[in-house]
Amino acid sequence: MSNPIRIVHIGLGPLGRMLGPYLTEKDHLRVVAAVDVDPEKAGLNLGAAYNLERRLDVAIEGSLDAEMMENADVAVVTTVSDLRALLPTLERVIDGGLSVISTCEELAYPWDAEPELARRVDDLARANRVSVLGTGVNPGFLMDFLPVATTAVCRIVDSILIERIQDASRRRLPFRRKIGAGLSVEAFQERVRSRQIRHVGLTQSMQMVASRLGWRLDRTEDIVEPVVARTEVRGKDWSVQAGRATGVNQTGRGFVDDREVLTLVFRATVGETQPRDRIRVIGTPAVDLAIAGGVNGDVATCSIVSNAIPVIHRAPPGLRTMVDVAPISAF
Amino acid sequence: MSNPIRIVHIGLGPLGRMLGPYLTEKDHLRVVAAVDVDPEKAGLNLGAAYNLERRLDVAIEGSLDAEMMENADVAVVTTVSDLRALLPTLERVIDGGLSVISTCEELAYPWDAEPELARRVDDLARANRVSVLGTGVNPGFLMDFLPVATTAVCRIVDSILIERIQDASRRRLPFRRKIGAGLSVEAFQERVRSRQIRHVGLTQSMQMVASRLGWRLDRTEDIVEPVVARTEVRGKDWSVQAGRATGVNQTGRGFVDDREVLTLVFRATVGETQPRDRIRVIGTPAVDLAIAGGVNGDVATCSIVSNAIPVIHRAPPGLRTMVDVAPISAF
């Protein structure tokens, strides 16, 4: 085994802390520095932030510095979903000579939504001979990489239907809250308007798929709706009355010449009886691929990010996407 | 659209001819020359060899020549399964400056079985700035690329079970013959000994998976057995009596420290009631991925080969495998 890949971990919010054990349990990875803007976290031992039972030889810093970057290879950035908000950090670490893996949803495929920013990040990464990837389970894997890779066996692809249907019944309260379970339809709609209920990334996934299939999308839609209980739905210590929301249904649609070529359904509700991840390629041949029960999103995102590190560490320089690098795998 | 990728197609046997329509129906591909050693095919119009209804501007040649290679970008080689038998052609086209995609099963992952040959091909490809890939549905996709890519969502992988179970009932006579359907157990075993019944590539698939998961396989097995009819199995114009073979079951097993970490089951029989392609990752989390009904092998191989051409045309130089290039997709 060669030397471990040295990681600077930026962003120790809920996802960042969940990711900690994944980054610290493999011999080929080593977290050498950690940064968070929250002053309350400054100085905290990283082992505690990661909820490990052991201390790590790293204390959380309030900001990046040059020495940190000199002694590292890759930055793992788990901060924001918004590419513009990510940009200062991104430019700083690329300039510092680090490759980057981020869970920023808008970084997963920024070439259509933010072509100038994408070009700027790509140029800077090439100039510094580093690679940059936005990834996670979704966007990054289930609704873009996996459908694209599935079409390898197809002679012709007419359209693709992708479903990610999750049962939130056994998830913890914060997840049930996040999907609006139990809200009245009016309260749900209000949270949609204020963007509190919204999964970021369907459009990025559609654009990523289209880029590899040679489709020029004329139009995309991204619609968020409540799923309304017809009868009362009961869990262990909660219930949702008939007429209230059991959760969220978000649909992405991509059109070429007014023909719907991409349909992405992302649904998370309490009382969902058939949770699944499913990709149906309508084409020659048709392909119907399913992952029984679906994949737990938090675990999958943490796995993908940590599994991506060796691939991005040796990828060609530039802004990469999940569909233009070698497949990520467990290692 | 930029200029089409110019293809020299070498090997116009059954698979090569089946591939023809795939290579000639896309604007971004153009077959500019075709070669076959069979003297009976020399001079034949390629459109006829491909069973197209139109003539092509290409006549089949008996051998490669320098001019052919100067005016092309990629060689598609559909000749043999054996890497040593492929080598003279491979070296010739690489020297001629062509990238190569071949259905040669042993080329899919030659690094363990033939490390010296692999190194030689890799060195030659790098020296000539071209890329070389062995691919097809299996080896190449179902039992190696797809399982590797699936493990992206896993924190830990303990073992992987891969099944490709096919129903041959509706396949044509040559396929039913190839899998030994209708033979006595003795006759079947004789054909296994003479290697007439044998799928090439399970070992390559296992080695490809292991290479990406960081597993060092101490030992592999590849066992070919008849599936024996318990009761008579009847098709439209055929039947298999009880006690005779309905087809073949081939099992690949890969071991690390005497622990079976890879199990590949490739079964094709008449009367199979649950045809499927299925990948079960035993790990954290467990993943159970299935393609309903399975993928037709001939169509999938032709699709993968033609879909791989743009990817290999722009891949980094060297001997590549399906798990170290960007995912192949329909285009």
User: What is the Cα–Cα distance from A191 to A180, expressed in whole angstroms?
Assistant: 8
Structure tokens at A321: 């996407």
Is B296 part of the contact surface with chain A (CB cutoff 8 Å)?
A: yes
Query: What pLDDT, on a 0 to 100 scale, did the predictor assign at position B304?
Result: 98
Residue A27 CB neighbour total at 10 angstroms: 8
Query: What pLDDT, on a 0 to 100 scale, did the predictor assign at position B237?
Result: 85
**For residue A165, how far is the Cα from the chain centroid?**
16
The amino acid at residue A304 is I
**For residue A73, how far is the Cα from the chain centroid?**
22
Q: Where are the alpha helices (DSSP H) in chain A?
A: 14-24, 46-49, 66-70, 83-95, 115-127, 145-150, 173-178, 185-193, 202-213, 297-313
Sign of the Cα torsion A127, A91, A131, B146 reads negative
Q: Is A94 helix (H, G, I), strand (E, B) or coil?
A: helix
User: What is the Cα–Cα distance from B228 to B186, expressed in whole angstroms?
Assistant: 11
B316: nearest CB among A287, A292, A316: A316
Whether B153 sits inside 8 A of A141 (CB atoms) is yes
Query: What pLDDT, on a 0 to 100 scale, did the predictor assign at position B172?
Result: 81
A289: nearest CB among B291, B308, B329: B291
Residue A6 has pLDDT above 90, yes or no: yes
Is A328 part of the contact surface with chain B (CB cutoff 8 Å)?
A: yes
This prediction's pTM: 0.96
E strand or H helix that includes residue A157: strand A156-167
B152: nearest CB among A290, A293, A328: A328
Residue A171 has pLDDT above 90, yes or no: no
Residue A2 has pLDDT above 80, yes or no: no
Label each residue of chain B as H, E or C: CCCCEEEEEECCCHHHHHHHHHHHCCCCEEEEEEECCCHHHCCCEHHHHCCCCCCCCCEEECCCCHHHHHCCCEEEECCCCCHHHHHHHHHHHHHCCCEEEECCHHHCCCCCCCHHHHHHHHHHHHHCCCEEEECCCCCCCCCCHHHHHHHHHCCEEEEEEEEEEEECCCCCHHHHHHCCCCCCHHHHHHHHHCCCCCCCCHHHHHHHHHHHHCCCCCEEEEEEEEEECCCCEECCCCEECCCCEEEEEEEEEEEECCEEEEEEEEEEECCCCCCEEEEEEEEECCEEEEEECCCCHHHHHHHHHHHHHHHHHCCCCEEECCCCCCCCCCC
User: Are the C-beta atoms of residues A321 and A304 closer than 8 Å to each other?
Assistant: no
Mean pLDDT by 10 residues, chain B (331 residues): 90 96 97 97 97 97 96 97 96 98 98 97 98 97 98 98 94 88 97 92 97 97 97 91 97 97 97 94 97 94 98 97 97 92
Query: What pLDDT, on a 0 to 100 scale, did the predictor assign at position B232?
Result: 95
Query: What pLDDT, on a 0 to 100 scale, did the predictor assign at position B266?
Result: 96
pLDDT in tens, A199-256: 899 999 999 999 999 999 999 999 999 999 999 999 888 899 999 999 999 999 999 9
Q: Which residue in this structure is represented by tokens 């209980």?
A: A229
Residues from chain A contacting residue B157 (CB–CB below 8 Å): 330
Per-residue burial over B37-47, b = 16 or more CB atoms within 10 Å of its CB, e = otherwise: eeeebeebbbb
User: What is the Cα–Cα distance from A189 to A253, expressed in whole angstroms?
Assistant: 20
pLDDT in tens, A137-149: 999 999 999 999 9
A185, B102, B187, B204, B306 from B28: Cα distances, Å:
50, 19, 48, 31, 11
What average pLDDT score do residues A174-178 get?
Answer: 88
B154: nearest CB among A285, A293, A330: A330
User: Are the C-beta atoms of residues B196 and B299 closer than 8 Å to each other?
Assistant: no
Sign of the Cα torsion B144, B145, B146, B147 reads positive
Complete DSSP assignment for A163-187: EEEEE-TTS-HHHHHHTTTT--HHH
User: Are the C-beta atoms of residues A241 and A232 closer than 8 Å to each other?
Assistant: yes
In chain B, which residue's Cα lies nearest the Cα of A286? B295
Residue A271 CB neighbour total at 10 angstroms: 18
pLDDT in tens, A51-84: 999 999 999 999 999 999 999 999 999 999 999 9
The amino acid at residue B273 is T
Residue A1 has pLDDT above 60, yes or no: no
Query: What pLDDT, on a 0 to 100 scale, did the predictor assign at position A125?
Result: 98
Residue A164 has pLDDT above 90, yes or no: yes
Query: What pLDDT, on a 0 to 100 scale, did the predictor assign at position A235?
Result: 87
Q: Which of residues 5-34 of A touch B (CB under 8 A)?
A: 22
**For residue A116, how far is the Cα from the chain centroid?**
22
Structure tokens at B252: 């690949």
In chain A, which residue's Cα lies nearest the Cα of B158? A330
Bridge partners of A277, per DSSP, are A164, A291
User: Are the C-beta atoms of residues A106 and A204 closer than 8 Å to each other?
Assistant: yes
Query: What pLDDT, on a 0 to 100 scale, did the predictor assign at position A160?
Result: 98
B148: nearest CB among A137, A292, A329: A329
- Residue B302 to chain A, least CA–CA distance (Å): 8
Is A146 part of the contact surface with chain B (CB cutoff 8 Å)?
A: yes
Is B88 part of the contact surface with chain A (CB cutoff 8 Å)?
A: no
